[in-house]
Amino acid sequence: MKALGDLKVLDLSRVLAGPFSTQILSDLGATVWKIESPRGDDTRRLGPPFMESESAYFLSINRGKKSICVNLKDERGQRVVQRMAAKADIIVENFKTGDLARYGLDYESIERINPGIVYASITGYGHTGPRAYEPGVDTSLQGMIGLMSVTGEPDRPPSKTGIAAIDLLTGSLAVTGILVALRERERTGLGQHIDLSLFDTGIMGMVNVAQNYIATGEPPQRYGSAHPQICPYQTFEAKDGRWFMLAVMNDGMFQKLAPLIDRPAIHEDPRFETNAARLAHKDELIPQLAERFKTKDRHEWIDALTKVGITSGPINTFDETLADKQAEARQVVWNVEHPTIGDLPVMANSLQYMSRTPAAPQGPPPLLGEHTREVLSQFLSEDEMDEYERDGVIGATRS
């Protein structure tokens, strides 16, 4: 049996943070009932690109789940989902604060019928505080918590990260909180409510940048690819016009770097002898390094740096990433059989290398309503399902 093979997850989440967390739970063996409105998860329409009629966005975060199409605006739909909640171990939702109370699906309502429920709420700002009822998405939160203020080149406008970093960190933390709550439930028999916000998580994720501000009282700045506390630690362009990352983590590494760049005594220069000195004089050091790195091709520099134990690596495009031999060796792409697309490559779960209970795909991303009747047969009679489908309370796709 898979590690979480005995658990049932009622997934009331949409878009990214919640679905990312429930996909992880699915990969670890949990049964995930994904409740979708008649229009489906918003990401089903986010594109192009599409594969057949399926959005690449949706396909990236919903594998292995069972899609049940239910109209929560109908009281009969609400009662169906309440029955499912009574049998679930975990609920994940990302409705705005207070919205699910209208449907009798908030934590307080479900806890009365299922005291063991582990209920994870993911919102923009949490369920308390003056912003509790405000909507929040990853990009707006990147600006709000200061992440955009430290992202990008110093002489350019603030920038968001290339991925929805706060959503993904929040989804990962949701899994952590859920597993902790399940462990505690083993001792007490009681579940609990996990109130998790993008706002809190984003601030938590500022780690050393935040602590630097606390230590100095100076708001952090944008450094581009450089590091506020380590020098040299940034990208450089090689002779062939290709870029690579150099991370000289300590003074010993800098001593090894000096002869490689034909400056054997540079580490003895008082301006560059220590990391603190290099930071203070980075405007004098970095141009010297940039000039030297344009004398050889990227692969030559990376080979030379690797041989002496200095951290470096190519700035790849994603096609180059997947073509790397390490990516092949680590099987970073899984293949699942999709009902309309056929063979579908998806990004693997990095927990696949657990020694006894590795993550593995439990199936493809579902079609909208693909499993409605299969799953709801546990909660409704055939006649009820026929009536509810006829009335638009539930929807079913027959592949």
DSSP assignment of 318-345 equals: HHHHHHSHHHHHTT-EEEEEETTTEEEE
Known catalytic residue: 99?
Answer: no
Q: How many CA atoms lie within 13 A of 159 on its CB side?
A: 14
Q: How far apart are CA 347 and CA 334, in angstroms?
A: 6
Closest CA to 196 of 37, 23, 21, 62: 21
Distance from C-alpha of 78 to C-alpha of 39, rounded to nearest angstrom: 17
Please answer whether residues 378 and 351 qualify as being in contact, where contact means their C-beta atoms are separated by less than 8 angstroms: no
From the candidates 167, 269, 324, 386, give the one annotated as an active-site residue.
167
Alpha carbon of residue 265 to chain centroid: 45
Closest listed residue to residue 296, CA positions, set 356, 236, 380: 236
Rounded (10°) angle between helices 75-87 and 382-390: 140
- Round to whole Å and give the CA distance between 219 and 385: 58
Q: What residue has token string 């093979």?
A: 5
The residues pairing with 334 across neighbouring beta strands, listed in sequence order, are: 346
CA distance 397 to 399: 6
Rounded Cα distance between 373 and 397, Å, is 9
Closest by CA position to 60, among listed 336, 320, 330, 326:
336
**Catalytic annotation, residues:** 167
